[in-house]
Chains A and B, each alone.
Chain A
Amino acid sequence: MLKKFVFWFQTNYNLNRSKVLIIIPCYNEGQNIVPLLNELKPLSFENTDFTILPVNDQSTDNTLALLKKNSTNFLNLPNNLGIGGAVQSGIKYAERYGFDYAIQMDGDGQHPPSEVPLLLKEALHSGCDICLGSRYMKWEGFQSTAMRRLGIRVLNTLIRLTTGQKIYDCTSGYRLFNRRAINLFAEYYPDKYPEPEVIVYAKLKGLKISEVPVFMRDREGGESSISGLSSLYYMIKVSLAIAFIKLSFVFTKK
């Protein structure tokens, strides 16, 4: 009887409802952003309020105009900060307005909003601080090219060697942060190609990371930011960053 009353009370009076912020970093996503926002509208999960926050990172196309028309709240960065800075501004927003969870989702439509409940469920059940959406746990959906998978494998191994954390898809930009992770990343978040670096940093800071299989689509429009020579640069930059973070923890721990 009491239990029933508590349940009724909670569902009707918004107590214990968790606030979730969905951060969508956008750089020239004019072709993809409106369908994505429309897809996000019907999103719902038990006892959860969603706020959708696209972050316009000085796009040179009509992204800003589309956001003004289609989105109630969004961030418009005055300088181009790159994906890391864009995501961090969302995280700072989440920290300031007391969100319980922040979910990062790419603006190019590769990450279907229907997978958001999967991430939330995992976070609620396992109590992890960061939950990654991984393409490579089940071999379903968009899998990227062989070359890229190899690169991701190398980075996964590097992360396992430095932190002992087994990761299937360290480059996935589909991830959930809880309050603890939000507080940590409001302080520091890597600038360029942040995804693998964030995992190492969080793990060494003692955060719990888990991974769930999600379905990803091929991009609907626009081009990947990493191709050709820049993929080599990506590998070098990310490996170096991981090595430096590991080093900094080796020196400060003792």
Chain B
Amino acid sequence: MSFIQYISIGTTLIFLFIVFRLVVKKQLREEFSIIWILSAILLNIIAFWRDSIEVMADFFGVYYPPSILYIALFLLIIIYCLHMSILLSRQRNQIKNLSQEIAILNEKIDALNLKNGEAE
């Protein structure tokens, strides 16, 4: 194994460790951690087995093997960003509904307090 392989294996393992740590400390939800764990494992495999890129490039008929890695990662990141945008839109809608609900309930509380003659 070459030096660069040790470095990449080391980095992906550190990355994996960080992801696990975040999940354990409840700073990252499990459902979001899956994609990060999978990609870390994938990168680890590529780091261990260097020729995997060439095998894939041969299979797809790609002339320059590393480019297949770039395009795969690029696509993965784009898809993940889209997924995040969808989640954000959904959450924005949920926040909107909650805010409206809070406003309406607060108004009701004020009205009830006024009816019962309680000062604020």
Query: Residues of A contacting B95 with CB < 8 Å?
Result: 79
Q: How many B residues touch A, CB cutoff 8 Å?
A: 11
Quick one: given A76-B106, A79-B95, are A92 and B100 in contact (CB under 8 Å)? yes
What are the interface flags for B42-86 relative to A under an 8 Å C-beta threshold, 1 for contact and 0 otherwise? Answer: 000000000000000000000000000000000000000000000
Please tell me the size bucket of the interface on A: 10 to 19
Residue of A nearest to B104 (CB): A93
**Are A77 and B100 in contact (CB-based, < 8 A)?**
yes
- B113 on interface, CB distance cutoff 8 Å: no
Q: How far is the CA of A109 from the CA of B95 in the complex (A)?
A: 30
Determine the distance from Cα of A89 to Cα of B102 in the docked complex, in whole angstroms.
10
Q: Give the distance in Å from the alpha carbon of A75 to the alpha carbon of B102 in the complex.
A: 9
Docked CA distance A78–B95 (Å): 10
Per the bound structure, the CA–CA distance linking A81 and B111 in Å amounts to 23
B11 within 8 A of A: no
> Could you tell me if B104 and A78 are in contact, using CB atoms closer than 8 angstroms?
no
Contacting residue for A96 out of B96, B102, B104, B110, CB 8 A = B104
Taking the nearest CB of chain B, how far is it from the CB of A83, in angstroms?
12
Give Cα distance in the complex from A75 to B103, angstroms. 5
Q: Are A78 and B96 in contact (CB under 8 A)?
A: no
Let me know if A88 is at the binding interface, CB within 8 A: yes
B30 on interface, CB distance cutoff 8 Å = no
Asked if A191 lies at the interface with its beta carbon under 8 angstroms from chain B, I say yes
Chain B contacts for A81, CB-based, 8 A: 96, 99-100
| C-alpha spacing A88/B100, complex, angstroms | 8
A residues less than 8 Å from B107 (CB atoms): 73-76, 93
Chain A residue nearest to B100 (CB atoms) is A89
Interface 1/0s, chain A 81-94, versus B by CB < 8 A? 10001001100110
Judge whether B96 and A85 touch: CB under 8 Å. Answer: yes
Distance (Å) between the CB of A190 and the closest chain B CB?
Answer: 11
Listed in ascending order, the chain B residues whose CB lies under 8 Å from chain A are: 95-96, 99-100, 102-104, 106-107, 110-111
**CB-defined A-B contacts under 8 Å, sample of 23:** A74-B107, A75-B104, A75-B106, A76-B103, A76-B106, A77-B102, A77-B103, A78-B99, A78-B102, A78-B103, A79-B96, A81-B96, A81-B99, A85-B99, A85-B100, A88-B96, A89-B103, A89-B104, A92-B100, A92-B104, A93-B107, A96-B104, A191-B96
A: residues with CB less than 8 A from B are 55, 73-79, 81, 85, 88-89, 92-93, 96, 191
Starting from the known contacts A78-B102, A96-B104, 17 additional A-B residue pairs (CB-CB under 8 Å) come to: A55-B103, A75-B103, A75-B104, A76-B107, A77-B99, A78-B99, A78-B103, A79-B95, A79-B99, A81-B96, A81-B99, A85-B96, A85-B99, A89-B100, A89-B104, A92-B104, A191-B96
